[in-house]
Amino acid sequence: MERTVITFGTFDVFHVGHLRMIERAAALGDRLVVGVSADELNLRKKGREPIFTEAERVEIVAALKCVAEVFVEESLELKREYVLRYAADVLVMGDDWEGKFDELGDVCEVVYLPRTPAVSTTALIEKISTGS
Ligand code: C2G
């Protein structure tokens, strides 16, 4: 039986931390589905628009060879619906979300993977804008 893995993220200013998370998620199954968070969701939750648009972020993630399917994540609260819609066997999240999705353990396996240290979109934006 094919094992489907699902993961989520904004993936803004795509960097090696994003890539490694996606590759490690893909390695946990046969087919990886990625939910890329909507511009509107970012605005609501983080108070700012991503640097790259939703369409650009979807295009970048969809081009990765270990990604089978990409969709736009409209709300953080719809995880259960997405897991069921894509028939995911495993939900992978970064460990900054540790414990937050344990209640989905009745419909899929929930795995939190450690983040890559010392790289972040926020730090990159800061570095680019200050030139340091
Ligand atoms: N990541 C990582 N190492 C980093 C930075 C990010 O492993 N140094 C991982 C995150 O843990 C996440 C993925 O890369 O699994 C995407 O990161 P973000 O775009 O920051 O995701 P976020 O905005 O937290 O997701 O439902 C979740 C939402 O879509 C928001």
In whole angstroms, how far apart are CA 59 and each of 29, 38, 71, 72?
22, 13, 10, 11
The answer, yes or no, to whether any atom of ligand 1 lies below 6 A from the CB of 116, is yes
pLDDT in tens, 11-21: 999 999 999 99
The answer, yes or no, to whether any atom of ligand 1 lies below 6 A from the CB of 50, is no
- Collect the ranges in the chain with pLDDT lower than 70: none
Please state, in angstroms and rounded to a whole number, the distance separating the CA atoms of residues 27 and 50: 28
The answer, yes or no, to whether any atom of ligand 1 lies below 6 A from the CB of 75, is no
pLDDT of amino acid 87: 98
Beta bridge partners of 72: 36
Token representation of residue 121: 């979109």
Q: Ligand 1, from 5, 7, 10: best to mutate by most atoms within 8 Å of Cβ?
A: 10
Alpha helix stretches (DSSP H) within the chain? 16-26, 39-46, 54-62, 79-85, 121-130
pLDDT of amino acid 4: 98
pLDDT of amino acid 131: 83
Name the DSSP class of 114. P
pLDDT of amino acid 46: 86
